[in-house]
Structure 1
Amino acid sequence: MLRHRSLWLVCIALLSLPLSLCAQTTTGTVRGYVKDQNGAPVADAELSARQTETGILRSATTRSDGSYIIPGLVPGNYELAVRKIGFGPQRRQVVVQIGATSPVDVTMQAGAVELQAVTVEAGPTVELRTSEVATNVTPQQIQQLPTPSRNFLDLAALAPGVVVSEDRLNSIGFRTFSAGGSTANQVNVFVDGTSLKNDLTGGGVAGQDASRGNPFPRNAIQEYRVISQNFKAEYQKASSAVISATTRSGSNTWTGNAFFGYQNKGLVALDTLQDFQRRTNPSFKKPDFTRSLIGLSAGGPIQRDKLFFFGSYEGNYQDRSNSVNLTPPSGFAALDTVNLATRYNGNFTSPFRESLLFGKLTYAVNANSSLEVNFNNRHETDVRDFGGSRTFAAANDFRQNVSIGQVKYNRVSGGWLNEAKVDYSRFQRNPSPTTSGSIARIYHYPGQDAWIGSDVSVQDFIQRRLGFRDDLTYSGKQQHVFKGGVSVDLVSYHINKLNDGVPKFEWADTINTNCWCRGGNAPTLAYGYSHPYQLTYATGAGLVDVNNTQIGAYLQDDWSPTSRLTLNLGIRWDFESRMLNTDYVTPQWVADTLTRYNDSLPVPLDLSRYISTGKNRQPFYGAFQPRLGFSYALDGNNVTTVFGGFGIYYDRSLFDFSVDEIQKLTRPTYITRFDNGTATPGAVPWNASYLTSDTTAVSSLARNTGQPEAFLLDNKMKPPKSKQFSLGVRRVLGPWVASLSYQGQRGTDLFMYNSGNNGYNATGHCCVPGYNIGAHGIRNIIYSTNDGKTWYDALSLQLDRPYRPSTGGIGWGAGLVYTYAQRSVAGIDFLGDLAGSFPFGFPKANGIAKHTDLGGSDERHHVVGNWIMDVPYLFGIQFSGLVTLGSGARIDVGTAPRFGGVVDSTYFPGGFLPPQRNFLFLGGWGYRRVDIKFRKDFPKISGTSLGVTVDVFNVFNFQNLGDYNITVVPALHTFTVGQPRQVVSDPRRVQIGAEYTF
């Protein structure tokens, strides 16, 4: 309490600061030079930037060298006016983008006559002088480019090195993005400066680790910036890429929009595997599917030039059909009585519902200050996790709720700008079985594991954050723009993790007792499905409540020693009081067992690092992060610019790891084996009374016969870290901007689990016989290290021509990004495992050398193109689209060396590349997809208009295949590639829609 009370006083003091600098996480800057007709600097000229939508003014004065800077501008369209006695006034139209600096140089003519307002197009609205590798996604791209589910994160793929998980018809996986060879856990998203970071579970962004839905209503997003490399010190809680988005605001004119989009199974083609089933299976039925996307937004003045409102709603309603098809074997009387096929087969609906709300008030307090209040809410439900051999009764009801509110206050005085912000957020992740009061039953037979009855786990993760932030900028000193800021987040975690809380019984015909799994290899036990051979059940306290304090501070100087050179010099420090549970005390019986038998383990542990006394585990204080960048214009007109940078970036490990450390002992999962009627070591006799939803007998049985696992966290655990470095050149080519850059990233100190029961033998191979620690009360010992590593090296070429309408109302824009990259990992086999709750380097992470990711992230060539084009001669249609091409990911083939694999005999590093196909006249693509959108707007009636849209995703119906059947042939020192077993993208589908604007 004393600690939190002191922090409250600190926060109040921060908010009371009269002056400070606004970070550019949600704003933009206009800067440049004012000179006379002879090129001499004009000092003390007055500049005013008026936002054309709201009429809000910001002002500045040129310095002695003629330079000026207007930071902290809300993204939008501005009229920049320049005045000084003795010179004719000048005006410029400027587009300010989020996180970007717009250079505007003005030449004034001596005289007292005001010149006609001039619209100057100094090139595309692409930032030229930043040291960051950044891509701005414009309002036109957000509104016009085709994306199936309206997830605004989808367009992050326009940035080099960024990978976005696809929206799939029947997928329930991650809807996240990643970059730089890292996982989604290492990214962060800021909306109006508020972090959406998920501290508890994977995915990086709260609510996206296991959702079909969207993190924020797309019709409330004005624009956003994707910084894939070398972001400045003002950004936190990310060691990979960040996205900073700004929301829409009301203006001096009331406007609104309503839209509707629709898909069903009649608008979806069959993929290759479905078409094969249609041709070979007379009973094949096309899966049912419908999706309706609806939305409404409106904004305008409550008081002109003073108080504005904006609000929006989006709904995502989906119904998908999942087929359950159990094919049990015959000849087992006990199995026949279950009637698996007749009772459980069929097509069942999987409903998904999501509602997104956003509201915002903007108040211009006076010419020097403004106030903003906004709130958003996300609610979704998803009945899922069934189909195939998993019956509808085993489905999960996956519920998520996200609520965020914030208040921001900005004040300008002289060369100072202050942005103070208070925000509150609540994230809830709450999956539970749809069938309550039941048990889970699994029948193992060739080709299937039939699951009937309930799912086994209930989880309720709640993260609450009360955040305070104050940012300070001083631009009154010639050549320098100083920035600094402090943030304090008071976070609480409420985790009720009742995994395996429903008894799970498993049946089989024959069991191999070496692994207690179905199989016919000796030694075996025959069951004939007469009764279960195994029970899995957890009992005990599952609730964990913890408070965490997160503090961040940074200092930064954007120094321009000349008009061509800008140096970005910054340093950041972050701290968390409980990234892991620092007060945890290892139970005495576990400490005694480890101490007694540590020398018998394959690799003895340093117990001083793994036995926690509640006093020997300290927070990490060393997260100092220097961030350096530069940009240098090779000419006075900024036509060609060289840029680069280096930085250190700390992230955080998931608190879910600390939960497992506690709950694996307070609420252990027990495994109980049953004999087949003959006494068997390690097994107990079966009793039919166990097979009931009344868990009284099962709880007693599990505690008496099962053994817990010990999850041990390193007392000196570090947060994950990356080093990023880049070097590149940008050049203006008429209306285009071209950029060529190298990006490097080295990820270290990634959290890994290791096996304490297993180790390497003298030849470095796995595994030496493990010590039977189970005989002493612990089934497994799992301990953590920071041995995970990633490597990323890339060369990217980017071309951009932002959409710009011409005087006749006809416009077009386009962009292309090509990335050549190499990615490697160490300490883990699959990069994707680092994104989950159990990143396991078996048996020891430090024995897994640098190699190609087995999970398929090492793609060499990747191309993303986009265009928006008005076609007036084709009935006034607007035509837009996205092209995505990839060479496909290289993966290792065969047995890893630590398991005895021999290079070029039974192990082929990066040996497999998907079959390469042509796109237009270019070959070498393992992945191809083209999405297009047609939009027709009808003539306005009384200021309102109606538009219709047709989106076609994967218009050429390219079949992108994966999971190839690969067989190693050791005798021939090669491998063969068989048929693919899955598609990795959806077939062609069409979405129709309508939009009404007023």
Structure 2
Amino acid sequence: MSITRTSKLLLSAVLGTGSLLGLALTAPPAHAQGTTGSIQGVVTDTSTGDALAGVTIVVTSGQVSQTAITEDDGSYRITGLMPGDYLVTFFFGDTTIERKNINVGVDKTTPVFQKINTQAAVAETIVIEDKPPAIDPTSTSQGITIDQEYTKNIPVPGRTFESTLGAAAGSQGDGLGVAFSGSTSLENQYYVDGVNTTGLRYGTSGSPVINNFIEEIEVITGGYNAEYGRATGAVVNVVTITGDNTLKGEVFASVRPGLLVAEREFTPFEGASIDTIGNLDYSADAGFVLAGPIVKDKLWFALGVAPTANRTKITRSTKRRMDCQQQLPSGELSACDPRSVASGGFADGTADVDPDTGFTLYEELGRRNLYDTSIGAYMLGKLNYAVRPEHQGQLSFNAAPGRRVAKQLYGLPQSGDYTISGATTDVAAKWTSKFNDNKTEVEAVIGWHRDSTTVTPRVAAAGVTPYEDLIFGNLGVWSDLGYEDASTKAGCTDNAAGDLYPLIENCPDLVGHGYSVGGLGSVIDDRDNRYSAKLALTQRVKAMGSHEIKAGVDVDDNRLSEPRTYTGGVFFQNFQDRSQIYTNRFVQVAPVMTDDPKFDEVCPHTPAGAMQPVQQPCRYIGQTGEGSQVQGQTVNWSAYVRDSWQIRPNLTFNAGLRYEEQRLRYAEYLRDDIDISTNQPFGKNAMSMTNMWAPRLGLLYDWTKEGRSKIYGHWGRFYESIPMNINSRSFAGEVFYRQVYDYDQCGDMVPGYGSPSGNGCTGTGGASDIIGINGTLVAPGIKPQYMDERILGVEYELAEDLKLGIAYQNRGLGRVIEDVSTDGAATYVIANPGEWGEDAEADLMSRIEAEDDPAQRARLETLLRQFRGIRKFDAPKRDYHALQFTVTRRFSKALYMQGSYTYSKTKGNFPGLISYDNGQVDPNISSQYDLIELMANRYGSLPQDKPHYIKLDGYYQFDLKQAGTLTTGARLRALSGEPRQALARHWLYGPNESFLLPRGTIGRTQFETGLDVHVGYARKLKGNMELEVYGDIFNVFNDQGIAGVSDAYSVQSASNPIVGGTYEDLIFAKENDLQTGRETSSPIRRNPNYGNTTARYAPLTVQFGARLSF
């Protein structure tokens, strides 16, 4: 779907509530999105090696204990353990063996094998201090577990859990979150205390949680079992702190003062007279978390609150071009002499250029500081209740309200100063019961996730006034609007008295930054709600080994509510370089012969291939009334069954099958209206995804027979869960009407504009388009989007606490859902690009043959042509191959370390749910497959392709005895650059849509490295209290490397792809007419910023903090 309508979507995705704040006993083992882990092992006789039956094992922590008795083969398993350290005690006759500090992770099985001397002559108690292996011998999953020690001692660059996810091998940031294993960041699923908190609209992380509230974070990047679904990226499972029988807590604070943040390196932007650069002024948070018993052994609580505040100083400077220097024979520039060449100076009518960089030379005229501020809070509440150890429940609450005040940078403050406020809220209730000597477990969970976002203009009138963008004009003219200072107005005004450079235009907008006037534009007042329920049953049986059979079902009811309108009902694009104004508005259209009185306007347009315009009945959608508010709904449900079969204690076979369905529904106001394409009512369900069968297979072998090794293989299929952005656009009757007016149709010149205003445009204008007039069709027989995964790996505990791993991972998209158009954007068809089933074709042909009504027959024949056109599109491809080397040293003897090296290749023609090349965030309805003429040159190295990625985290603690503990930590990253492109605009769709050259042939950005360090000092106080102060330095060497470059070879010119071309061929690229799309004889205009740096990594930043714990 066209990117011309995504400004609101990008704002919602990037400036959601999470960014406002961020600039356990209830789940069975191995449960998807669980909050607990388990311990299992085998007890044997020391002298004979025989299995010992009847050994009693008691697992104890600060909360209640759990007990198990070994089976005939000596095996045991204890489930439902909250993350943390445990004492495991073995009782056999008069012998007692205690294993201390046995760590259990969320959704992990810790192997604890034990040998007992059955010939002991006297009663004895043996205390063993060594730790069990850090290898889960029952799971093929890949990923990482992050605990409190990691977030405390490693310099994590942010304060919420998202900032830790980059520690996982195969992960990388992509601007909207963290992407894993070749996927985009919108393909993950996120859970907090068992509640699905994934963003409904786009698939972002949803709910931020501050690290101080978190017990453990599990990041699963591949190889997961049938319990997991709706993800083609990773599954992130966050477990917050839970109370136990010991009262514990922490008071904490941190601050990043602007005085200790290095100045951002200026990134020149060619062709603009307004520069902006942001520097952190301060970022601070403070709070507490407290957990403990209400009634010991029965009822526990956890409570936390952490307010936060941030402010960024944005320096906005204005500048003008110069015409007073020339390059000397030495290669240097002369001194400035603004006299003309004829008068003995250096002014020649051409703006001066720096010979070293190629950038136009500017001189600053004025500057002002603007402040972008935000405040918010993180909140946690939790209650745990145990009737008995076998029957336990939990209530949990997480919330993150916030408010941000943002400033207009390119235009009048009243058209861009706004306040964005919102909150995420998550509530869950869970219950777990065990029966039949703990061999049977039942778990039930209900949850509610809510996300709200509201944008309010700082000036009330901007909320009802049309937005207008003055593009490719002149800052000197715009200065008459009164916002720019006197020096800017004087220095930018051409040919005025005192104009120092009269032979050139002083302050032109050459790159289309524009100058915003009028109202705010998009209206944002969004509400998202997810109501979820899950039920799972686990049964452990003995049959040719040990089986853990689990079956479950879950349901999600997802609902959104949002405005779909502009302030004033319309927005104007005022192109001052070609003296035209585009008016853009949402409309609802009706069949030509309609007699429905609500369609009180006429929207003339010329369909593709037509010679005469059609007088289309329509209705303008204003800020209020029908169609201005969209109510969307998607219902998901799934069921699964899996068996983890331990054929032998060191050989496990996992097999599972998952079934999913997803029903995406039309907006409520549309359901009784007539679809103009089919002449039938829209109805309730817009698209139903069924038959999503997802098998999973895994095999593991431990050659040490002690849990210290595993060789494993995995194959699985994973289906996408389509985010609800498609509901609010494709299934809500989104039709966009654009009219093109020449200036002489728009009234008088407006002072300060340099042109008329869109408010003065009258009549029907010239060319006009109704984009999406025929609505969005769903191809009959459409099939769901899925990904297949293959993994082969080895893990081995080389020495106590030291684990090495190597794994090969392959992921490939098997099918994609995207919208396509075969009639020049008049009709969008949601389909599987490149394929349309023969059965669906035969069914439609049968309907045509049986149809007697000529009009209806013609409609069906049109649909047949549309659907057959789907096959002409290239089949989407995305293939990821990776080899991962990992090393983990659990904390012992004062040292912790984990690291990885990933060599990977990601190739194809479809990046995924984010269109990185044009910045569009429209999952499954991006512009990537809209037009057949844009298919060329898209195959190659995808934006996610960064072949080499090195990660190393670690810390060391110096025991200063009575003087305390000194901790030093470090975080190292080194990664390849990303592929570069040569892009041009499309005459209808706008910038960065046409791949002039094959993807990735221009080269890569540079290899980047970064180092962060941490120093902390802790000292015991009275009792069990401890005070720690610490400092973090991020980007120690202040290497503000390249985070992005401009791939837009041409911004103003539309051009067709040069199929298979090279860089040398770009000089032959020709412009397309922006009204008709026809190729002209004129060469395209090269963007002066092409290849230049557009974004840099954050500068050196210092953070101080303190925590008092007890």
Superposition TM-score, scaled by structure 2 size: 0.71
- Asked if structure 2 preserves the Cα contact closer than 8 Å seen for 1:725 and 1:745, the reply is yes
The residue aligned with 1:300 is 292
Report the Cα offset of residue 846 of structure 1: 9.9
Report the Cα offset of residue 929 of structure 1: 0.8
**Residue 434 in structure 1 maps to residue 458 in structure 2:** yes
Q: Give distance in 2, aligned partners of 1:315 and 1:616.
A: 43
**Residue 204 in structure 1 maps to residue 204 in structure 2:** yes
Q: Give distance in 1, aligned partners of 2:940 and 2:454.
A: 32
Q: Give distance in 1, aligned partners of 2:392 and 2:1101.
A: 46
The residue aligned with 2:908 is 825
CA deviation vs aligned residue, 1:309-334 (integer Å, no higher than 9, x gap): 1111223311112244456999xxxx
Instruction: Tell me which moved more, 82-91 or 967-976.
Output: 967-976
Q: Give distance in 1, aligned partners of 2:702 and 2:386.
A: 37
The residue aligned with 1:954 is 1035
Residues 990 and 92 of structure 1, relative CA distance in 2, 3 Å threshold: closer
The residue aligned with 2:52 is 42
**Residue 223 in structure 1 maps to residue 216 in structure 2:** yes
Report the Cα offset of residue 848 of structure 1: 3.2
- Asked if structure 1 preserves the Cα contact closer than 8 Å seen for 2:421 and 2:453, the reply is yes
**Residue 743 in structure 1 maps to residue 838 in structure 2:** no
Q: AA paired with 2:144?
A: T
Report the Cα offset of residue 362 of structure 1: 1.4
Alpha-carbon RMSD: 4.3
Residues 843 and 74 of structure 1, relative CA distance in 2, 3 Å threshold: closer
Residues 713 and 948 of structure 1, relative CA distance in 2, 3 Å threshold: farther
Residues 342 and 929 of structure 1, relative CA distance in 2, 3 Å threshold: closer
CA deviation vs aligned residue, 1:340-387 (integer Å, no higher than 9, x gap): x99997322111122110011112221321121111111122223632
The residue aligned with 1:179 is 180
Report the Cα offset of residue 958 of structure 1: 1.3
1:628 is aligned, of 692, 697, 713, to 697
The residue aligned with 2:724 is 655
Q: Give distance in 1, aligned partners of 2:876 and 2:535.
A: 35
CA deviation vs aligned residue, 1:745-792 (integer Å, no higher than 9, x gap): 112433323344449xxxxxxxxxxxxxxxxxxxxx999999544221
**Residue 996 in structure 1 maps to residue 1108 in structure 2:** yes
CA deviation vs aligned residue, 1:585-608 (integer Å, no higher than 9, x gap): 69647327xx9xxxxxxxxxxxxx
1:403 is aligned, of 417, 425, 432, to 425
1:380 is aligned, of 402, 405, 410, to 402
Instruction: Give the share of equivalent positions with the same residue, in percent.
Output: 19
CA deviation vs aligned residue, 1:632-681 (integer Å, no higher than 9, x gap): 1123334442112011111222222132235455xx5443444333xxxx
- Asked if structure 1 preserves the Cα contact closer than 8 Å seen for 2:746 and 2:760, the reply is no
Q: Give distance in 1, aligned partners of 2:876 and 2:276.
A: 45
- Asked if structure 2 preserves the Cα contact closer than 8 Å seen for 1:394 and 1:435, the reply is no
The residue aligned with 2:107 is 99
Instruction: Tell me which moved more, 136-145 or 103-112.
Output: 103-112
Q: Over alpha carbons, which structure has the higher Rg?
A: 2
1:69 is aligned, of 77, 86, 92, to 77
Instruction: Tell me which moved more, 86-95 or 951-960.
Output: 86-95
Instruction: Tell me which moved more, 567-576 or 841-850.
Output: 841-850
Query: 1:895-914 alignment to 2 at 5 Å?
Result: 907=997, 909-914=999-1004
Report the Cα offset of residue 989 of structure 1: 1.0
Query: 1:745-894 alignment to 2 at 5 Å?
Result: 745-758=811-824, 788-804=876-892, 806=893, 811-827=894-910, 831-832=915-916, 835-836=921-922, 838-841=925-928, 843-844=930-931, 848=935, 856-872=943-959, 876-893=965-982
Q: Give distance in 1, aligned partners of 2:370 and 2:72.
A: 74
Q: Which secondary structure does the structure 1 equivalent of 2:729 belong to?
A: helix
Residues 285 and 560 of structure 1, relative CA distance in 2, 3 Å threshold: closer
**Residue 490 in structure 1 maps to residue 550 in structure 2:** no
Report the Cα offset of residue 97 of structure 1: 0.7
- Asked if structure 2 preserves the Cα contact closer than 8 Å seen for 1:548 and 1:576, the reply is yes
Q: Give distance in 2, aligned partners of 1:398 and 1:728.
A: 47
The residue aligned with 1:709 is 772
- Asked if structure 1 preserves the Cα contact closer than 8 Å seen for 2:1044 and 2:1094, the reply is yes
The residue aligned with 2:306 is 314
- Asked if structure 1 preserves the Cα contact closer than 8 Å seen for 2:1046 and 2:1092, the reply is yes
The residue aligned with 1:601 is none
Q: Which secondary structure does the structure 2 equivalent of 1:577 belong to?
A: strand
Q: Give distance in 1, aligned partners of 2:650 and 2:660.
A: 33
The residue aligned with 1:550 is 636
Unaligned runs of 5+ in 2: 1-25, 323-362, 474-508, 585-618, 826-865, 990-994, 1050-1062, 1070-1085
Residues 294 and 847 of structure 1, relative CA distance in 2, 3 Å threshold: same
Q: Give distance in 2, aligned partners of 1:238 and 1:572.
A: 13
**Residue 423 in structure 1 maps to residue 447 in structure 2:** yes
Total equivalences in the alignment? 865
**Residue 443 in structure 1 maps to residue 470 in structure 2:** yes
Report the Cα offset of residue 39 of structure 1: 0.8
Q: AA paired with 2:288?
A: L
The residue aligned with 1:5 is none
Q: Which secondary structure does the structure 2 equivalent of 1:859 belong to?
A: coil
- Asked if structure 2 preserves the Cα contact closer than 8 Å seen for 1:256 and 1:299, the reply is yes
Report the Cα offset of residue 253 of structure 1: 2.4
CA deviation vs aligned residue, 1:474-505 (integer Å, no higher than 9, x gap): 22424111111111233333233334655434
CA deviation vs aligned residue, 1:16-62 (integer Å, no higher than 9, x gap): xx998772522111111111121111123222211x222x1212222
- Asked if structure 1 preserves the Cα contact closer than 8 Å seen for 2:666 and 2:684, the reply is no
Q: Give distance in 2, aligned partners of 1:971 and 1:351.
A: 44
Q: Give distance in 2, aligned partners of 1:586 and 1:749.
A: 32
Report the Cα offset of residue 432 of structure 1: 4.0
Residues 981 and 364 of structure 1, relative CA distance in 2, 3 Å threshold: same
- Asked if structure 2 preserves the Cα contact closer than 8 Å seen for 1:537 and 1:671, the reply is no
Q: Give distance in 2, aligned partners of 1:283 and 1:858.
A: 31
Report the Cα offset of residue 813 of structure 1: 0.2
2:1008 is aligned, of 889, 914, 927, to 927
Q: Give distance in 2, aligned partners of 1:467 and 1:103.
A: 33
Q: Give distance in 1, aligned partners of 2:28 and 2:959.
A: 49
- Asked if structure 2 preserves the Cα contact closer than 8 Å seen for 1:28 and 1:71, the reply is yes
- Asked if structure 2 preserves the Cα contact closer than 8 Å seen for 1:825 and 1:853, the reply is yes
**Residue 969 in structure 1 maps to residue 1064 in structure 2:** yes
Report the Cα offset of residue 292 of structure 1: 0.9
- Asked if structure 2 preserves the Cα contact closer than 8 Å seen for 1:90 and 1:114, the reply is no
Q: Give distance in 1, aligned partners of 2:421 and 2:364.
A: 31
Unaligned runs of 5+ in 1: 1-17, 166-172, 208-214, 331-340, 518-535, 596-610, 678-682, 760-780, 900-904, 917-925
Q: Give distance in 1, aligned partners of 2:1066 and 2:876.
A: 34
Q: Which secondary structure does the structure 2 equivalent of 1:219 belong to?
A: helix
Q: Give distance in 2, aligned partners of 1:345 and 1:876.
A: 48
1:60 is aligned, of 68, 75, 79, to 68
The residue aligned with 2:252 is 259
The residue aligned with 1:188 is 189
The residue aligned with 1:986 is 1098
Report the Cα offset of residue 301 of structure 1: 1.5
Report the Cα offset of residue 743 of structure 1: 0.7
Q: Which secondary structure does the structure 1 equivalent of 2:810 belong to?
A: strand
The residue aligned with 1:26 is 35
1:721 is aligned, of 786, 808, 812, to 786
Residues 556 and 460 of structure 1, relative CA distance in 2, 3 Å threshold: same
Q: Which secondary structure does the structure 2 equivalent of 1:969 belong to?
A: helix
The residue aligned with 1:350 is 372
The residue aligned with 2:159 is 150
Q: Which secondary structure does the structure 2 equivalent of 1:552 belong to?
A: strand
Superposition TM-score, scaled by structure 1 size: 0.78
- Asked if structure 2 preserves the Cα contact closer than 8 Å seen for 1:499 and 1:538, the reply is no
Q: AA paired with 1:422?
A: I
Q: Give distance in 2, aligned partners of 1:285 and 1:817.
A: 35
